[in-house]
Amino acid sequence: MSENQQVTQEAPLRVALLGCGVVGSSVARMLVEHGDDLAARVGRRLELVGIAVRRAGKDRSDLPVDPALFTTDAESLVTRADIVVEVIGGIEPARSLIELAMKSGASVVSANKALLAEAGPALYAEAAEHGVDLYYEAAVAGAIPILRPIRESLAGDEVRKVLGIVNGTTNYVLDKMDTTGQGFAEAVEQAQALGYAEADPTADVEGFDAAAKAAILASLAFHTRVSSDQVYREGITEVSAADVQAAREMDCVVKLLAICERTETIGSDGRSTAGVSVRVHPAMIPRSHPLGGVRDAFNAVFVEADAAGQLMFYGKGAGGDPTASAVLGDVVAVARHRVGGGRGHGESAYADLPVLEMGQALTRYHISLDVADRPGVLAQVATSFAEHAVSIETVRQHIIAADPDGPDGDAGETRANLIVVTHTAPDAALSATVRALSGLDTVREVVSVMRVEGA
Ligand SMILES: NC(=O)C1=CN([C@@H]2O[C@H](COP(=O)(O)OP(=O)(O)OC[C@H]3O[C@@H](n4cnc5c(N)ncnc54)[C@H](O)[C@@H]3O)[C@@H](O)[C@H]2O)C=CC1
Ligand SMILES: N[C@@H](CC=O)C(=O)O
Ligand code: NA
């Protein structure tokens, strides 16, 4: 008997799919259309035994699946599966369904970063208790293999830093603002229509999606539990056309970055203490940086490890088929464990490093000030920086013509746009400097503040 004949004679592994939206419909299609190849790779056929949906009567005739498979009874579906694929999203009912699936002996594959970043440790514990797998490669950077490389390939090394563009929607919006000068709202609508955005795009544009992914990346990279509420987060809603232009003048581009770093702090006793810093915010990054050229909805993750050095992972981080590719990779992995016996790895959180406050993160600021063009202004501004121990890297000044209708007795006064780029300093010192600058009588307005990374 050939190996393939053997594959078809064993009882198939039963796969239940929860959710049939952008990702779920691609998963269903690929499971069916690639059935023979998947069977050969797993050593057993994968049988789609049901698809949980919210509305059973909806026309899904474009999918190559038996309409009888659609059900609104997700609970009973998960109890009759060997593998449950959760692509509903959100916390509930996804969490309860995953827990019920594990309790019933099924391994789980999920694309749900919001859930993993909130309840990862509890779900790992359930998986261990019931002897099943929990895999979620699709949850971070869609199709890009990044979690498995960090969990497995780099398990013998020390990861120092993970710097990523991990949200396709915001990268798409920022790229359109940079290259076509397109407005924010229109670009978000396009990202939604292309299937990149979350059901509620607020999760994308306010940085919640990237923060959840950063929490997952940091947890795996530093063997430490990091939840999304420990991640400093700023979205892109405040990024203006002027910020994008200011970045261009520095030969930079604005990107929403997820930055996960292992830190070393030297105490007064000279002893070094390790920690973890995790943040998500827009930042200027040089166009020449590997992340500076990441266009459209693409994602990229830059990893620095002690022995490996710098590694770059690039590809499609959103969209139905790319995300389904990662989901199916996980399905094959957990199915192979079922066939061969054993489980994949569980949680690794032994390092248990402290997660630092944002104020301790080391970064650089680009600050644009509208100041009165009078003698001594530059010295006053420079003093504010010095008082907070922030060192200035560059200062540029453009004279702004006098405005005869200017407010508060400033009419007719010549002003200057002062652009200061700092050297690296703790974020707390930088933000205190900005507060002090806004209190100076010669500073009419702090026009914009943006962090600078990667230079
Ligand atoms: N769209 C993308 O590019 C990516 C999405 N993801 C994640 O994949 C998951 C799914 O995302 P999408 O497919 O884009 O979302 P979606 O909104 O297109 O699909 C979710 C589907 O689940 C259904 N659903 C909701 N509650 C349900 C319930 N109780 N029972 C059965 N079905 C239910 C909804 O009706 C919807 O059809 C989310 O966790 C998302 O964060 C991850 C990577 C990329
Ligand atoms: N909404 C997310 C989808 C993938 O995680 C994004 O835009 O990246
Ligand atoms: Na991935």
* pLDDT tens per residue, range 166-219: 999 999 999 999 999 888 888 888 889 998 888 788 999 999 999 999 999 999
| Catalytic residue flag (residue 213) | yes
Find out whether 25 is annotated in a ligand binding site.
Answer: yes
| Cα atoms in the Cβ-side hemisphere of radius 13 Å centred on 140 | 32
Most ligand 2 atoms within 8 A of CB, residue of 198, 256, 296, 321 to mutate: 198
How much is the pLDDT for 239? Answer: 92
Find out whether 152 is annotated in a ligand binding site.
Answer: no
Alpha carbons 164 and 261: distance in angstroms, whole number: 11
Residue-wise pLDDT for 52-93, tens only, equals 999 988 999 999 999 999 999 999 999 999 999 999 999 999
Find out whether 176 is annotated in a ligand binding site.
Answer: no
The closest of 195, 144, 146, 138 to 323, measured between CA atoms, is 138
Residues 199 and 212 in one domain: yes
Alpha carbons 435 and 263: distance in angstroms, whole number: 26
CATH code of 35's domain: 3.40.50.720
Residues 376 and 277 in one domain: no
How much is the pLDDT for 209? Answer: 97
User: How far does the centroid of ligand 3 lie from the alpha carbon of residue 400, in Å?
Assistant: 48
Backbone CA torsion sign across 113, 102, 76, 25: positive
Residues 279 and 156 in one domain: yes
How much is the pLDDT for 57? Answer: 84
Question: Among all ligands shown, which has an atom nearest to the Cα of 194?
Answer: 1
Alpha carbons 381 and 440: distance in angstroms, whole number: 8
Residues 285 and 228 in one domain: yes
Residue-wise pLDDT for 301-344, tens only, equals 999 999 999 999 999 999 999 999 999 999 999 999 999 999 99
Residues 248 and 378 in one domain: no
Atom nearest to 86 CA in ligand 1? 9
Q: Taking the CA atoms of the chain, what radius of gyration do you get in angstroms?
A: 25
Token couple for 445: 């307005």
Most ligand 1 atoms within 8 A of CB, residue of 76, 87, 108 to mutate: 87
Q: Where does the pLDDT of residue 267 fall: very low under 50, low under 70, confident under 90, or very high at 90 and above?
A: confident
User: How far does the centroid of ligand 3 lie from the alpha carbon of residue 395, in Å?
Assistant: 40
Alpha carbons 111 and 95: distance in angstroms, whole number: 12
Token couple for 239: 């990024």
| Overall average pLDDT of the 127-132 stretch | 98
Q: Is residue 350 part of a domain?
A: no
Residues 177 and 229 in one domain: yes
Contacts of 35 (CB under 8 A, 6+ apart): 45, 46
- Domain range for 402 is 359-452
The closest of 127, 123, 148, 128 to 138, measured between CA atoms, is 148
How many domains does the chain divide into? 3
Name all residues whose Cβ lies below 6 A of ligand 1. Answer: 18-24, 52-54, 74, 87-89, 93, 111-113, 138-139, 142, 195-196, 198-199, 318-319, 323
Residues 124 and 162 in one domain: no
Residues 81 and 171 in one domain: no
Token couple for 314: 């690039």
ipTM for the whole complex: 0.99
Beta-strand (E) ranges in 137-211? 159-165
| Overall average pLDDT of the 265-269 stretch | 87
How much is the pLDDT for 81? Answer: 98
The closest of 261, 263, 257, 348 to 301, measured between CA atoms, is 257
How much is the pLDDT for 183? Answer: 83
How many Å separate Cα 36 from the centre of its chain? 34
Mean pLDDT score across all residues of the chain: 94
Surrounding residues of ion ligand 3, Cβ less than 5 A: 137, 141, 144, 146, 326
Residue 409 pLDDT exceeds 60 = no
- Which one-letter DSSP state was computed for residue 355? B
How much is the pLDDT for 412? Answer: 65
Find out whether 20 is annotated in a ligand binding site.
Answer: yes
Residue 351 pLDDT exceeds 90 = yes
Q: Are 214 and 139 in contact (CB under 8 A)?
A: no
Residues 122 and 168 in one domain: no
Kindly report the protein residue whose alpha carbon is nearest to atom 28 of ligand 1. 54
Q: Is residue 353 part of a domain?
A: no
Active-site position among 58, 103, 176, 213: 213
